[in-house]
Structure 1
Amino acid sequence: MSTILDRILVQIGDQKIIDKLLSLSKADLNSLLLELFEKQTDKFTPVDVLKAYQVNRFSTPSDIDPAKFHALETQLLTAAQKMDMQTVLLSPSAPFGSCSVFGCVDQYNVVSALRGTETLSDPSNMMAIIIADRLKRKTESNTPPLHYATTARAVRAQALSGKGFFAHFGLFCMVSSGKDIGSYACEKELLKKHLNFYKELLQEHFNAKLSIVLRKRGGYTDGDGFFDKMTTVVQTAFPDTPLSFDYDDVDNKYYQGINFQIYMETEHEKMMIGDGGFVDWICQMLGSKKERCLISGIGLDRLLLFSE
């Protein structure tokens, strides 16, 4: 229990109040919280709203030029469509727990909301949920694999500082879904699809080249064999692309088997703009070990800063 929470429980005088609230149904808890927020805003004045804005990093606007930002979104989505990817316009809200339930991020680092929602913090999770829903309802099939892409403004609660880090930021994400057909054939196809997109994007639109860092992760029974096969795929499909390796933090459980970092290189500068890897989210949602899912994404704000 955190020191802050401990202090609050002492002030309320009921150490079991959290357990009591959790015993309520989701609908009743939501109604209670709605009433609480209603009572809070009854006390607010316009001056209070201005003061809240001045100290709240989540609601202040970005310094990024909006015209350049939306032009970049259009550029990326158009490029994705040309590579036969389905593009999706996401809601700014996601189902409550859409990241933390998969073990991707602590719920404290997500801006939680009411009515069973949270502020969108990772578009790749949301697209995986959409794909899983469509597969379960049989409105889509992932044989051959499905490829989705989107851009979105995401909000995260952890405080990060430095150039290119914001409380809210733009992301371009791709999520691919397929079925295991043996010999890691599905994984090979998905990996080549994503890396080829980024290579062509940087070459054609930014006069830059792609470089890749491959990072080994757990999650596959034949971890060494899987990593070696994915390495061979990258070396064979992208022989002129600089490739390096990072074997630290192998037990990181966000990605399965492999994680790739995407770097943008120009004549004068090199910067990491995104990453990707295999995840088991659709497998968990559908209860099928045959499901394969590759996600990747790049930061739009960082890409614009790099291009200045």
Structure 2
Amino acid sequence: MSTIARVDIDASVRQALAEDLAPTALWSLLLDVFERRAAQRSPAMVRQQWESDRFVQPCAIDQRTLNTLDAHLLAAAANFEALELSPLAPLAACSSVALTSQNRIVSTARGSEIVSDPTNVLALECARRLRSAPGAVVKLTTSHRCVRAQPVPKRPGFAAHFRMFCLASAAHERKDHGFVAEALIEHIRTHIGALDRLEKHGYQFPDRSLRLLATPERRHIAERIASAVPEIPATLQTLEHRYYDGLRFMLDAGTPDGNPVPLIDGGAFDWLGKLTDNRRMVFVASAMGSQLAALLFRRVALIA
């Protein structure tokens, strides 16, 4: 059920705005509305929003720290092509293929949305490339500031906007789920390598552990993945979250107070099959909460 308050307007007007108006006509109408609203705002009103709106507050982490962190993470992902994404994505970039609500995303008046999850945008780019070259293997990475509209946990490091380091791999599936297994192993190893690299530059990620979650029919793939990364303790669990396509991994690290933090999350997704109309096209994505890493796991000043 939507958590957005419904405005009391005539049902025919709501129908026209929601469904009947052509997209270009709707965008033009909304742009006119926002232009009029902006004309009514005083500098004092803008200042008050700057001071109180969680969506516009600056990040709590120093920008130099984040820039250096990004450099180390991207260096660890040398086998992936690095993309600098636009701050905007097509409207419904997430909700059209994934189990998420558009109400959790900041939509714009121009038929687009602010990027809330870079992995969905990377899936779009993978689909574009594979439609023109179906036999290709696409491997992409990015570090991106995201904005999400859902309530924020009242815990250190969580905010309405935050930085994520992402990996994405896509290709036509091979026999015995060969590509998905290989891609997940590469993602896990790349993230482990990134943590190892950061530990040489002022970070500590103690008590690391790997959780592999799979549906019963894909448990054998999870077992194959676990055996391929013996350098980290792994546990196998049953996957119940329908957001993933049968396989998920989570990489945790311990904070000084001894509590494990789920720092890295990834898995297989069915998005590429939907975007290309080819169910044999498979997509693996993973992400690290890099802003969370800077806040909780940085021990000393970074050394370039």
The farther-off stretch of 90-99 and 16-25 is 16-25
Given residue 53 of structure 2, which amino acid in structure 1 is its aligned partner? N
Unaligned runs of 5+ in 1: 218-223
Decide whether the 8 Å contact of 1:213 with 1:261 is kept in 2: yes
Alignment-mate amino acid for residue 287 of structure 1? D
Q: Distance in 2 between matches of 1:3 and 1:234?
A: 39
Give the distance between the partners of 1:72 and 1:60, measured in 2 at CA. Answer: 21
Structure 1 position 63, deviation (Å)? 0.9
Alignment of 1:267-286 (within 5 A): 269=258, 270-286=260-276
Q: CA deviation at 1:4?
A: 6.7
Indicate which of 202, 213, 216 corresponds to 1:215. 213
One of 60, 66, 70 as aligned partner of 2:67: 70
Distance 1:85 1:52, change over 3 A: same
Pairing of 1:151-170 with structure 2 (within 5 A): 151-160=143-152, 161-170=154-163
1:221 paired residue number: none
- For 2:160 and 2:86, how far apart are their aligned partners in 1? 18
Aligned to 2:81: 86
**Superposed CA offset, 1:71-94 (max 9, x none):** 10111112212xx21110001111
Q: CA deviation at 1:216?
A: 2.6
Cα-Cα RMSD: 2.0
Q: 1:3 Cα shift?
A: 8.8
SS of the aligned residue for 1:16 comes to helix
2:242 to 234, 239, 253: 253
Partner of 2:301: none
8 Å contact from structure 1 (residues 85, 148) kept in 2:
yes
Match of 1:196 in 2: 189
Q: CA 1:245/1:235 → structure 2, altered by over 3 Å: closer, same or farther?
A: closer
Q: Structure 2: 5+ residue runs without aligned partners? A: 299-304
CA contact (8 A) 2:213 2:248 kept: yes
1:147 equivalent in structure 2: 139
The number of residues matched between the two structures is 290
After TM superposition, give the deviation of residue 104 of structure 1 in Å.
Answer: 3.3
Alignment correspondent of 2:112: 117
Partners of 1:202 and 1:154 in 2: CA distance: 21
Query: Deviation at 1:194?
Result: 0.4
Question: What is residue 17 of structure 1 aligned with on the other side?
Answer: 13
Residues 89 and 121 in structure 2, CA contact (< 8 A), matched pair in contact too: yes
Identify the residue that residue 217 of structure 2 maps to in structure 1. Answer: 225
SS of structure 2 residue aligned to 1:262: strand
Output the CA distance in 1 between the equivalents of 2:108 and 2:238.
38
Distance (whole Å) between structure 2 residues aligned to residue 191 and residue 5 of structure 1: 41
CA distance in 1, matches of 2:191, 2:143: 15
TM-score scaled by length of structure 2:
0.89
Task: Give distance in 1, aligned partners of 2:158 and 2:13.
Answer: 37
- Compared CA separation, residues 17 and 273, structure 1 to 2 (3 A): same
Letter in 1 for 2:16: K
* Structure 1 residue ranges (4+ consecutive) displaced by more than 3 angstroms after TM superposition: 1-6, 207-210, 265-270
Q: Contact conserved, 1:192 with 1:233, CA < 8 A, in 2?
A: no
What does residue 57 of structure 2 align with? 60
Say if 2:92 is the partner of 1:108.
Answer: no
For 1:233, the aligned partner's letter is R
Partner Cα distance (1:203, 1:50) in 2:
43
Report the equivalent of 1:293.
Answer: 283
How far off is 1:103 after superposition?
Answer: 2.7
Deviation track 1:224-262 (CA, whole Å, cap 9, x = no partner) reads: 2322x22222232112311123336x1x22101111111
* In 1, Cα distance between equivalents of 2:130 and 2:3: 44
Judging changes above 3 Å, is the alpha-carbon distance between structure 1 residues 234 and 115 closer, same or farther for their aligned structure 2 residues? same
What is the alpha-carbon distance in structure 2 between the residues aligned to residue 292 and residue 267 of structure 1? 38
2: CA distance, partners of 1:59 / 1:96: 21
- 1:173-205 Cα deviation digits (max 9, x unpaired): 001002112111111111111011112222232
SS of aligned partner of 1:264: strand
Identical aligned residues as a percent: 29
Whether the 8 Å CA contact 1:142–1:177 is kept in 2: the answer is: no
Offset of 1:267 from its aligned partner? 8.1
CA contact (8 A) 1:271 1:306 kept: no
Contact 1:155 1:169 in 2 (8 A): yes
